[in-house]
Structure 1
Amino acid sequence: MPEFGKPVRPPKPPGWRPPGHRPPGWRPPHYNPPYYRPPHWHWGSYYWYPGWGWYFTAIVAGSTLVYVTSLPDKNCEKVKDGSETLYLCDGVLYRPTYHDDTQVYEVVTPTDEEGAAQAETMLGLSLTSPMTRGPAVRELQTLLGGYDYDVGAVDGVFGRSTEAALLWLQYDYELEQTGAVDEPTAQLLGILPPDEAETSEGDAATAETAEGEEAEATEASEGEPDAEAEPDPAPESEEGSSAGD
């Protein structure tokens, strides 16, 4: 419970991000625009993203900010964030601000690619929408490259080139072509150890063979006559005894 006298802050609107949450050097995902738009004489190149329209980027205070020159032609809802007013337009949040003394709107909501979950393990990786990314994907791409399969750029993004390389690997090694890092593929790449079931079956077969050999050796030793045993002496006859007396 909040302490007495301390105001309770309202929850942030969906998609809210702090100003400047994109690191320096951030590059927007590439999408083919519907038509060509020449660069702005001062702001530079325009980019296009579904749901945002045309936008441009700028480095401000060590962060990459994304701006649009105007709100989309849709019904936008005003959202209060403390003393700040944001605009929610078709699920995208915009923050009104100024850039070089010109009214612009910062795109607050992250892209689908930015919101994608980071993969923690290579097992189960496959092509998803949005595309899975992270160090685990980069490690998988490096492994596939070690098998001489072309994954395109080793960028940590599981795209169609990575899926194609994985399918070729599964085809060449006669595995089921799932396009995903399933257990047989993970064992081939060394991500997982050999199948424990196969290992236990092999150990059981080895034990059975050893037991069979031991039983055969025992039976063979029991069937052979005892060469060292001496025969019982023949009993003396009565005639022989009397003659000796």
Structure 2
Amino acid sequence: MGHRPVGSRPPGHRPPGYRPPGYRPPGYRPPAYRPPYHRPPYHRPPHYHYGPYHYNSGWGWFFTAAIIGSTLVYTTSLPSDKECEKITEKGETLYLCDGVLYRSTYYEDEKVYEIVSDPPAEQGQPQSVVGLGLTSPFTRGETVRELQNRLVGAGYDVGSVDGVFGSGTESAVMWLQYDNGLDSSGVIDPPTATLLGYDVPGAAEPVAAPAQQAAPTDPAPAAEADGSVTEQPEVAAPADPEPASDVVPDAGTDDAMDEPQN
């Protein structure tokens, strides 16, 4: 057997705690992360220490904090109205409460519970891109995010691809419509959706040409009382008059020939 130097490691060995490039821990969210908008059931005053509350139909009330290049979404305690189960995943202790994972951590020297699970799908998302426009509150969802990706791919700036139809997305839609000779309304109509590559039924149907006026036809034959049909007499076209002769006969010539000679 060959000699192996002290401290050598086999090929592919990774030191303890090694993370590949681009690794993100469970629940990572970028610093500019914005929680999905949900209209809360009622207003809740801000927390005296952690600031304003946010609401999500699946998460309930929660807080946010930017920590070391990520956004922490957390609560001060586990939900009391749900049954929570302690589980272990990859050596880490988590709490599963009605399908939502929580991780015990600390923020500002206080024990909090970070929400690890992704937010549930929003209700009432638009199913079709046709008709999208700037509304109050803003229209949100994956349909808007796909629209923003297509606008960016077409060379138009939407600000940020966040799934929110805001003023930046409206401006990009208006520029797209202006560059292609459409009405710059900022609303996705069938021609605009077709420009972005959407398959809109009936968007490319040709416009029917106006019906041409039929040429006048001969009048139909009149029907008699006994059911027989009387043919209408054909009106003959007037014949061209014969041209008048330029030679005028001499009236005295014939008389002179009939007179007896002396």
Instruction: Give the TM-score normalised by structure 1.
Output: 0.48
Instruction: Report the structure, 1 or 2, having the larger helix content.
Output: 1
Larger gyration radius, structure 1 or structure 2:
2
